[in-house]
Amino acid sequence: MPTTIQRVGVLTGGGDCPGINAVIRAVTKTAIYRYKARVFGIEDGFLGLVENRIGELTSMHVSGILTRGGTILGTNNRCNPTRYYTGDDKDGKPIFTNVIDRCLETIEANRLDALIVIGGDGTMSCAAPIAEAGVDCIAVPKTIDNDVVGTDITFGFLTAVSTATDALDRLHSTAMSHHRVMVCEVMGRNAGWIALHAGLASGSDVILIPEIPYRIETICEFVERRMHRGWGFSIIACAEGARAVDGQQVVADVDPTKPEPVRLGGVGQCLAQEIAQRTQIEARTTVLGYIQRSGTPTAADRVLATQFGHHAVELMMSGARNRMVVMRDGQLGDIDLRCAAGKQRLVSLDDPLLAAARAVRTCFGDNA
């Protein structure tokens, strides 16, 4: 098969998620077995590119990693080469420098012909200027949040949904025994995909997502009604980005040196307190946190990740440049990687899942 690409660099950026290793394995094996190319793993995302930390990946290195969570290459969500944090000025303000040249030097020093970049919208934003500087890049979308624009699904999402569903299922028995409202806060940033899917799968009574701001009065009326009509408990699946109609998202911390400075978290606790105060029903919170990002990928995520990794190499070897692998209507495809940079795919208000959930009397905290 004629191709000029012989040395492929691969990196993983942003938060980790189950299935990344399955992509690395598929990329490495496809490149080596089908194209006799060599693959080089870049450590800790773009930081490894800036600091020239690279090592060759052989088929031995990727053997047995299909089932492992995390990423064998390490990752980083602090390093954006166009805005690289180098310290604070005398007033304590962060200083940022453009270090794209250092990335290009690393690529040249290691004679990399092309890069495969595995990441979310933040990683696509980092990859876009490197691609514009003339480096051939193919991107693979990843995140548990399922919010990458242009693809119907990202690997990691279904594993996170399965973990969250299991937690919500378990919460039923203790909620029932104590006649409580149990709020379970799940991840997702500004998108409600995990809460919507896990909430629906677990039969949660209330699902709160950022796309549908809630009224606390509506939630309280709903849980009180359930209490009085004999159910005696309520389960609330709450996205970390959920917010009240007249309120703000709850922020866990802000770090101006990070490409994405705001980390969400804490809405579950606020909500439980407010429900308890207003209704006198006991309420408790469980924050699932990083459990959702950890552990072995589900079979479906292993399959998707393997398809994405294989397709990325096939695209690269066929001469495609600066594209991102996508899955649309069950078909593998690709789009310009810049389309996904810095944007998020949110739950649309006409998503059929919302209609299905409402039909089985799920409360979204709005008045619909």
- Which residues belong to the active site? 145
Query: Considering the rule CB under 6 A, would residue 298 count as an interface residue with ligand F6P?
Result: no
Q: Would the CA dihedral through 120, 12, 20, 138 be positive or negative?
A: positive
Q: How far is the CB of 205 from ligand F6P (least distance, A)?
A: 23
Query: Considering the rule CB under 6 A, would residue 237 count as an interface residue with ligand F6P?
Result: no
Calpha distance 81→85 (Å, rounded): 9
- How many residues sit in the footprint of ligand F6P (CB under 6 A)? 12
Which residue lies nearest ligand F6P, judged by its C-beta? 187
Query: Considering the rule CB under 6 A, would residue 78 count as an interface residue with ligand F6P?
Result: no
Query: Considering the rule CB under 6 A, would residue 139 count as an interface residue with ligand F6P?
Result: no
Task: List Cα–Cα distances, 9 to 97, 139, 140, 266, 357, in angstroms.
Answer: 24, 12, 13, 38, 44
Among 37, 139, 209, 264, binds ligand F6P (CB under 6 A): 264
Q: Copy the structure tokens of residue 148.
A: 């990458």
Label the pairing between strands 84-88 and 114-119.
unpaired
Calpha distance 179→199 (Å, rounded): 19
Among 83, 215, 263, 343, binds ligand F6P (CB under 6 A): 263
Query: CB-based contacts of 3: which residues, under 8 Å, 6+ apart?
Result: 35, 37, 317, 319
Query: Considering the rule CB under 6 A, would residue 293 count as an interface residue with ligand F6P?
Result: yes
Query: Considering the rule CB under 6 A, would residue 44 count as an interface residue with ligand F6P?
Result: no
Among 25, 29, 38, 189, binds ligand F6P (CB under 6 A): 189
Q: Copy the structure tokens of residue 266.
A: 């804490």
Among 30, 80, 125, 143, binds ligand F6P (CB under 6 A): 143
Query: Considering the rule CB under 6 A, would residue 124 count as an interface residue with ligand F6P?
Result: no
Yes or no: say if 54 and 48 are a contact pair by the CB < 8 Å rule.
yes
**Nearer residue to ligand F6P within complex by CB, 123 or 362:** 123
Q: Copy the structure tokens of residue 127.
A: 């990859």
Query: Considering the rule CB under 6 A, would residue 188 count as an interface residue with ligand F6P?
Result: yes
Chain contacts with ligand F6P (rule: CB under 6 A): 15, 77, 143-145, 187-189, 240, 263-264, 293
